[in-house]
Amino acid sequence: MRANEVPSEEITRDPAAFADRVTADGRFGRVAEPGRYRLVVSRACPWAHRTVIVRRLMGLEDAVSLAVTDPVQEVIDGDPHWVFTEATGSPGGRDPVLGVHALREAYLARDPGYTGGVSVPGLVDVTTGHLATNDYDRLSLDLAGEWGPLAREGAPDLYPEPLRDEIEAVGAEVYRDLNNGVYRAGFAPDQEHYDRAVAGVFARLDDLEARLSSRRYLVGETVTLADVRLFTTLVRFDAVYHGHFKCNIAKLTEYPALWAYARDLFQTPGFGDTTHFDHIRVHYYRVHTGINPTGIVAAGPDPAQWLAPHGRAALGGPPFGRATLPGPVPEGERVPDIAA
User: pLDDT tens digits, residue range 76-85?
Assistant: 998 999 999 9
pLDDT digits (tens, 9 = 90+) for 71-120: 999 999 989 999 999 999 999 999 999 999 999 999 999 999 999 999 99
- Farthest CA pair distance, the chain: 55
| 247 has catalytic annotation | no
pLDDT at 340 exceeding the cut of 60 = no
In contact, 90 and 332? CB cutoff 8 Å = no
Separation CA 22–CA 141 (nearest Å):
11
pLDDT at 337 exceeding the cut of 60 = yes
Mean pLDDT of 45-57: 98
| Helix (H), strand (E), coil (C) string for the chain | CCCCCCCCCCCCCCCCCCECCEECCCCCCEECCCCCEEEEECCCCHHHHHHHHHHHHCCCCCCEEEEECCCCCEEECCEEECECCHHHCCHHHCCCCCCCCECHHHHHHHCCCCCCCCCCCEEEECCCCCEEECCHHHHHHHHHHCCHHHCCCCCCCCCCHHHHHHHHHHHHHHHHHHHCHHHHHHCCCCHHHHHHHHHHHHHHHHHHHHHCCCCCCCCCCCCCHHHHHHHHHHHHHHHHHCCCCCCCCCCHHHCHHHHHHHHHHHCCCCCHHHCCHHHHHHHHHHHCCCCCCCCCCCCCCCHHHHHCCCCHHHHCCCCCCCCCCCCCCCHHHCCCCCCC
pLDDT at 278 exceeding the cut of 50 = yes
Separation CA 327–CA 76 (nearest Å):
39
User: Is residue 82 annotated as involved in ligand binding?
Assistant: yes
Question: For residue 65, what pLDDT is reported?
Answer: 98
Is the CATH number of domain 22-150 3.40.50.720? no
Is the CATH number of domain 161-323 1.20.1050.10? yes
- The angle subtended at Cα 154 by Cα 150 and Cα 159, nearest 5°, is 80
pLDDT digits (tens, 9 = 90+) for 195-213: 999 999 999 999 999 999 9
Marked catalytic residue, from 37, 136, 175, 183: 183
**CA dist 176 → 106, 172, 245 (Å):** 30, 6, 16
Marked catalytic residue, from 45, 159, 175, 241: 45
In contact, 71 and 44? CB cutoff 8 Å = yes
Between residues 322 and 11, which one has the greater pLDDT? Answer: 322
pLDDT digits (tens, 9 = 90+) for 143-177: 999 999 999 999 999 999 999 999 999 999 999 99
| 45 has catalytic annotation | yes
pLDDT at 258 exceeding the cut of 50 = yes
Mean pLDDT of 237-261: 98
Mean pLDDT of 7-24: 81
Mean pLDDT of 41-47: 98
Residues near 155 by Cβ (< 8 Å), separated by ≥ 6?
57, 58, 59, 323
Average per-residue pLDDT for the chain: 95
Question: For residue 2, what pLDDT is reported?
Answer: 46
- State what percent of residues in the chain have pLDDT above 90: 93
Annotated domain spans of the chain: 22-150, 161-323
Q: 43 pairs with which residues across the strands?
A: none
Question: For residue 11, what pLDDT is reported?
Answer: 67
pLDDT at 129 exceeding the cut of 60 = yes
